[in-house]
Amino acid sequence: MPEDRETAAEAAKKPEKVVKSEAEWRAKLTPEQYHVLREKGTERPFTGALVNNHDDGFYHCAACGAKLFKSDTKFESGSGWPSFFDPITKDAVELHEDNTYGMRRVEVTCAQCGGHLGHVFPDGPGPTGQRYCINSASLDFEKQ
Active site residues: 133
CB count in 10 Å sphere of residue 112: 22
Q: Cβ(35)–Cβ(41) under 8 Å? A: yes
Vertex 103: Cα angle to 119 and 82 (nearest 5): 25
Alpha-carbon gap, residue 104 to 124, rounded angstroms: 17
